[in-house]
Amino acid sequence: MSKLTAIGLAVLLVIVAAAVWQSGGTPDGAAEVATNGAPRYRIEKLRALRTDEKGLPLVRLTADTANYFDGGAADLSNIETTGLSGEAAPWSLKSPSGTVAAGEKRMLLHKPVDGTGRWASGEGFVFAGNAVWVDDAKRQFYSTQPITITSPTRNAKAKGFTASFDGKTLKMTQPELSYVLGD
């Protein structure tokens, strides 16, 4: 295979990965991925950047592998997804695996999901959760599964959460907060 052919194939696979990430349809709550048979395409060392209408970065996605199946479903391994605000990174989530169901514009990160973020004060925190959605249409990370957030001055447990890619909003479902009081 010539170097030019290999580059062309790599470009094609990146386009397929972008199509999977941007595939149309309205999320309906289904997380099933039809993986009958072998994948049609396999992308290794995937790196994708989603921008807004002005070309500003919204979310960056990396994965060791991405398998694309007939019908538009995909599975990914060793995923890191980072919500962006300009070039800042208010949220970064990691998961050993994730899936995109056919026709979806969101990806489900499978447990364990670990990450980092920032409180409105700018203080960093560590995030731990189970299933977390990365929803391109809503430009949000969210979950209905229990989460924990820990930081030097406060800790939180909640039955779920929603956070914008830009890190400007964090809403927790039935949160339990504890604070470390200063001297």
Terminal-residue alpha carbon distance, the chain: 68
Any idea which fold 3-179 has? lipopolysaccharide transport protein A fold (2.60.450)
Instruction: State the chain's mean pLDDT as an integer.
Output: 80
Q: Rounded CA gap, 162 and 175, in Å?
A: 12
pLDDT score of 89: 62
For residue 59, pLDDT beyond 60 = yes
pLDDT score of 16: 45
Q: What is the mean pLDDT of residues 31-39?
A: 59
50 and 61 Cβ atoms separated by less than 8 Å: yes
- What the block records as the tokens of 50 is 């989603």
State pLDDT tens for residues 95-142. 999 999 988 889 999 999 999 988 878 888 999 999 999 998 898 899
**DSSP states of 37-100 as a string?**
SS-SEEEEEEEEEEE-TTS-EEEEEEEEEEEE-TTS-EEEEEEEEEEEETTEEEEEEEEEEEEE
The fraction of the chain above a pLDDT of 90, given in percent, is 47
For residue 5, pLDDT beyond 60 = no
Long-range contacts at 110-115 (CB < 8 A, ≥ 24 apart): 111/145, 113/143, 115/91
Which H or E element spans position 8? helix 3-22
106 and 73 Cβ atoms separated by less than 8 Å: no
More confident residue, 180 or 149: 149
State pLDDT tens for residues 70-91. 888 999 999 999 888 655 567 8
Least confident of 26-30, 50-54, 101-105: 26-30
More confident residue, 163 or 37: 163
